[in-house]
Structure 1
């Protein structure tokens, strides 16, 4: 093939798009559809609990759009990081939805499932062999950390996806994968050069985010021997050199480089040229093959159980020095918990966040002067749910009536709901941000090809 056209319908499976944009991409000659289905953006809960953050009906709607279009055009569909975090159960969840959609639409497609969860015992062997290395800001990994994780996934490169496609898969449902590998797999399999392929895959990973209207739909990337072009699928949206180049600033440590399992994309010499007022051409991208193939590991573990309480402050006397009020709240809550529950400081933890003041930027907040309205979020963490809720209940009177240090009366603050305490269940943290040296790009992953069952 002299070129490969990759259709990226949106930033995430389940986020939705106008099906007409997918139809336009098919009409423009798309050779493959690729879509990411996951992310770590929403925190460790989804990996730690193996829970998707998207709704099943939303995923079904998007899969129906892609599978019907791809089936009619005779092109493959590739989905990465199924179920948000790419756990084995996430792959099976998306596969189950896909099976229902295919049965309803009468589609007869071969589906490959690629599992990316990792075995703790095998990872400890890798650790003992010196094959696991930390990524900043984490330090050296300990075996106990591996054992503490509820789920661990490896972020696959393009090779397992290529293996599934070569085995005859028309629909590839992959576990955790790099966002770019999902789009790069098919063009690399068809012989496109790695520099333009990985760069194009980076630009289209979030669909229309590189266009003038990210809400309008996805994009089509055409990759060839010299470079690639990017075209929005919505006729009213446009790509410009600045919008396309700017996506290299997104989720990268270095805007000129991006590491993949098998090497590093280098865009220092890339040139971004406007073909017309909607389409951009990019040339000059390079890819440097690494001496060692590595797979990034992601793992999460339970840190305790959380209970949340929330109140709102509109009182100008409190807001005149909201930091003093917050300091008093922290001091009094610690005292009351010790008096009433008999808990030591190391038996629970709490965080007080002042939304409308500094909850987002904290000490980096550039604005000065008192806020007009502040939402106070109390998050309590303890080793069990009952203890976390008990601490939040001790805080309840103060969240409703605590006066500022200079006030001689009780103010009334505003709870948004009753009860004021909301039990959030298990809380998780990411504890694995490491890479493991691999002898084979596919050795950490398991591929299952499902027989056609829907005629």
Structure 2
């Protein structure tokens, strides 16, 4: 059995960019695999709903070129998960197309596997009795599944391992847990599950577990007893606090986290500084689940949206901004009813006051008058024409609405001309469920083309 495995994670997300010299440094330190996440749900349901990427093709190509060169020169695998942001089939094909162009232009002979995670609603309907909600979601019904434009299953490490064992040099996977991308290779090489999964959680976002996240990624060295984390930039550092703190990131419980195959438990983990740059972690464990589950993510269209944005600097209005906002909502309703004949059920408006309480809303602790406020009006309706019509009716109000005690019409400042911006279809996440599976790979499809010709 291998004594240790070194996992190089250059950045938190493919396309975010990283210093090329940090990857070179990782290879010099003996990296056995390069693993990087390619997506996230952080930016909302649009990308899954449309099957498009949030990253620019040029940015992905720049990162991918450096990583393919590094993998080829060192003779080590490259693993990318959640390709194309949401891990749809189109996202995998998009990244695979970029990879093919790079391999051809660079003359690299690498065998590329694609792992697809998109699910058909009809197939899931037939397995409805095996699908269970995660809080706070309720029970699922066929109509909800069928309403989704795209559904993906979040794979664990097993489909990635299957592709590697089949001879892949590069694995481009659909939706995967962030940790599975880094855990797959060391698990395949026989490293213990506790240290592997904990290390994978710590390195998932590259340099975020360091004292300077902008300086590049990290190298995790995993062995039979634990793992060591080291920044790829020699001037960067990991500390016990910076490493341990990453278990607080995107987790409900900082001492445990569920994966498809079981649960990472770090309540007994210890974090020791080996020097001013490296941290040693021991005591992690992994508890296998009685039932392997795959999380389902689905997105659907809820309607169409039009946006207007105006800026307020009038001190009189800002001194009673809540009154102004309440009047704005009331006046829009009255004007839309009178001019368009629409009722409350025909559209929705959301007025957000940026610079005042747009982020925290009612729980904002500082309610003092701001110096300036950006007022964003979002109109949501079943069709684009209705949303835009409502926004146009609101236009004079967004430009000149006074407070009730003002004897003149103020002039506010639209951010754009035209003032109304049609945002198109609006999406929402419709699934927060898991499906019981008999095999960790049964929901996923693996293709393994032959290597490029010499």
Q: Which residue of 2 aligns with 1:429?
A: 428
Alpha-carbon distance between aligned partners in 2 of 1:396 and 1:371, rounded to the nearest angstrom: 23
Alpha-carbon distance between aligned partners in 2 of 1:223 and 1:280, rounded to the nearest angstrom: 12
Q: CA deviation at 1:231?
A: 0.1
Alpha-carbon distance between aligned partners in 2 of 1:370 and 1:220, rounded to the nearest angstrom: 48
1:30 matches 2:16: no
Q: Deviations over 1:414-450 (max 9, x none)?
A: 0111001111110000010100000000000000012
The answer to whether the Cα contact below 8 Å between 1:102 and 1:454 also exists between their aligned partners in 2 is: no
Q: CA deviation at 1:368?
A: 2.4
The answer to whether the Cα contact below 8 Å between 2:309 and 2:376 also exists between their aligned partners in 1 is: yes
Q: Which residue of 1 aligns with 2:80?
A: 79
Q: Which residue of 2 aligns with 1:353?
A: 352
Report SS of the residue matched to 1:307. Answer: strand
Give the alignment's TM-score, normalised by structure 2: 0.99
1:115 matches 2:116: yes
Q: CA deviation at 1:157?
A: 0.2
Report SS of the residue matched to 2:448. Answer: strand
Q: Deviations over 1:137-160 (max 9, x none)?
A: 111111110010000000000000
Q: Which residue of 1 aligns with 2:97?
A: 96
Alpha-carbon distance between aligned partners in 1 of 2:186 and 2:417, rounded to the nearest angstrom: 55
Q: Which residue of 2 aligns with 1:70?
A: 71
The answer to whether the Cα contact below 8 Å between 2:6 and 2:32 also exists between their aligned partners in 1 is: yes
Q: Which residue of 2 aligns with 1:168?
A: 167
Unaligned runs of 5+ in 2: none
Alpha-carbon distance between aligned partners in 1 of 2:158 and 2:52, rounded to the nearest angstrom: 26
Q: Which residue of 1 aligns with 2:60?
A: 59
Report SS of the residue matched to 2:286. Answer: strand
Q: Which residue of 2 aligns with 1:190?
A: 189
Alpha-carbon distance between aligned partners in 1 of 2:51 and 2:132, rounded to the nearest angstrom: 25
Alpha-carbon distance between aligned partners in 2 of 1:368 and 1:433, rounded to the nearest angstrom: 35
Report SS of the residue matched to 2:296. Answer: strand
Report SS of the residue matched to 1:432. Answer: coil
Q: Deviations over 1:102-141 (max 9, x none)?
A: 11111010000000000111101111xx211111111111
The answer to whether the Cα contact below 8 Å between 1:150 and 1:300 also exists between their aligned partners in 2 is: yes
Alpha-carbon distance between aligned partners in 2 of 1:235 and 1:342, rounded to the nearest angstrom: 66
Q: CA deviation at 1:363?
A: 0.9
Alpha-carbon distance between aligned partners in 2 of 1:8 and 1:367, rounded to the nearest angstrom: 40
Q: CA deviation at 1:453?
A: 2.8
Q: CA deviation at 1:293?
A: 0.2
Q: CA deviation at 1:454?
A: 5.0
Matches of residues 115-264 of structure 1 in structure 2 within 5 Å? 115-127=116-128, 130-264=129-263
Q: Which residue of 2 aligns with 1:311?
A: 310
Give the alignment's TM-score, normalised by structure 1: 0.99
Report SS of the residue matched to 1:236. Answer: coil
Alpha-carbon distance between aligned partners in 2 of 1:393 and 1:454, rounded to the nearest angstrom: 59
Alpha-carbon distance between aligned partners in 2 of 1:315 and 1:142, rounded to the nearest angstrom: 51
Alpha-carbon distance between aligned partners in 2 of 1:98 and 1:347, rounded to the nearest angstrom: 46
Structure 1 segments, 4+ long, off by >4 Å, are none
Unaligned runs of 5+ in 1: none
Q: Deviations over 1:277-312 (max 9, x none)?
A: 000000000000000000000000000011100000
Report SS of the residue matched to 1:450. Answer: coil
The answer to whether the Cα contact below 8 Å between 1:180 and 1:202 also exists between their aligned partners in 2 is: yes
Q: Which residue of 1 aligns with 2:397?
A: 398
Report SS of the residue matched to 2:377. Answer: strand
The answer to whether the Cα contact below 8 Å between 2:195 and 2:284 also exists between their aligned partners in 1 is: yes
Alpha-carbon distance between aligned partners in 2 of 1:324 and 1:434, rounded to the nearest angstrom: 41
1:326 matches 2:325: yes
The answer to whether the Cα contact below 8 Å between 2:108 and 2:452 also exists between their aligned partners in 1 is: no
Q: CA deviation at 1:46?
A: 0.3
- Note the aligned Cα RMSD (angstroms): 0.6
The answer to whether the Cα contact below 8 Å between 1:106 and 1:454 also exists between their aligned partners in 2 is: no
Alpha-carbon distance between aligned partners in 2 of 1:221 and 1:288, rounded to the nearest angstrom: 21
Report SS of the residue matched to 1:353. Answer: strand
Alpha-carbon distance between aligned partners in 1 of 2:266 and 2:401, rounded to the nearest angstrom: 56
Alpha-carbon distance between aligned partners in 2 of 1:144 and 1:408, rounded to the nearest angstrom: 54
The answer to whether the Cα contact below 8 Å between 1:109 and 1:454 also exists between their aligned partners in 2 is: no
The answer to whether the Cα contact below 8 Å between 1:103 and 1:454 also exists between their aligned partners in 2 is: no
Alpha-carbon distance between aligned partners in 2 of 1:294 and 1:257, rounded to the nearest angstrom: 17
